[in-house]
Amino acid sequence: MVPGCGNSLRFFSAGVRSVCRLHTSAGSPARPSRTADEISGAGYVCWPVCPNLFVERSRRQPGLSKVKRFRSHLVLWGRNEAVVISGRRLARQIRGEAKLDVESWVADGNRRPHLSVVLVGDNPASHSYVRNKAKVAADVGITSETILKPASITEEEVLELINKLNNDHKVDGLLVQLPLPEHLNERKICNAVSPSKDVDGFHVINVGRMCLDQSSMLPATPWGVWEIIQRTGIPTLGKNVVVAGRSKNVGMPIAMLLHTDGRHERPGGDATVTISHRYTPKDQLREHTKLADIIVAAAGMFKTEWHTMENLCLADSE
């Protein structure tokens, strides 16, 4: 892949579009719901919603009590002004950088980069994600193709197709859209993709390099969160972070990026990270989040109605 282009493409494929910085008070009374209690006291809440949204919360100003969505931005009513960070603006910025990288690469006499996407089955969400990836690739000057296969395809046929694309010198990036039908072994298929073409960063070699603070492909959502943290100047060095969720594609990579050494080949955030999950006792989770400067919610949607939560402001993007 062109230097810089793969990173930007993966960031955009995450669908991170709205970024909201919300100032609230750590001392504001939480409602008696589990969610509000668990997150009260945190300095920032980082939430890659679906993964369309990144939300952070600061303890430096008194609370905001009412939030309303308006197109791609957050409109706030409360006692203080909020600072709104537009994810769309950051996306345009990175997309512009990627486009310049591609055009510079091509101007130097190199072949235009090409992305191949394998899409198995009829999952509507997967088809939507793949269309967005193809659109973004075209916007930055990367050619792409989507290879559609029926849900009835055998694992051997998928592996044969991946091997063919691995050996095609015209294919620079390759991803197999997840989830796959139940009869297909996702881990086996992800490991079949060449590590050098692994746009999703799911190959065991890329996961291992990430854990060793070495340069590698990274999963889209964690990298999107990391890019937003870096580009908006949210301090992580020496901060206490709670990551709610331990999934291999989101929670674990986010925790790795935030806690690792900033002096290494792939610089990390130098934060102290606590990972919570379904078996973390509620009272312990509550105590961890009270001490947290940053919370990354990587465990799905909270079930509490958003507008009833005084200490957390959320928004969805369209």
Query: What are the residue numbers of the active site?
Result: 133, 177, 200
Q: Exposed, middle or buried: residue 121 (CB in 10 Å: 0-12, 13-18, 19+)? A: middle
The tokens describing 43, both together, are: 């300095």
Helix/strand/coil for 113: coil
| CA 189/CA 157 separation, integer angstroms | 11
Cα–Cα distance for residue pair 216/22, rounded to 1 Å: 32
For 314, residues 6+ apart whose C-beta sits below 8 A from its C-beta are: 47, 49, 53, 55, 67, 302, 306
Q: Tell me phi and psi for residue 199, to 5 degrees.
A: -65, -35
Question: Which residues lie below 8 Å from residue 278, measured CB to CB, with a gap of 6+?
Answer: none
Nearest CA-CA partner of 268 in 214, 231, 201: 214
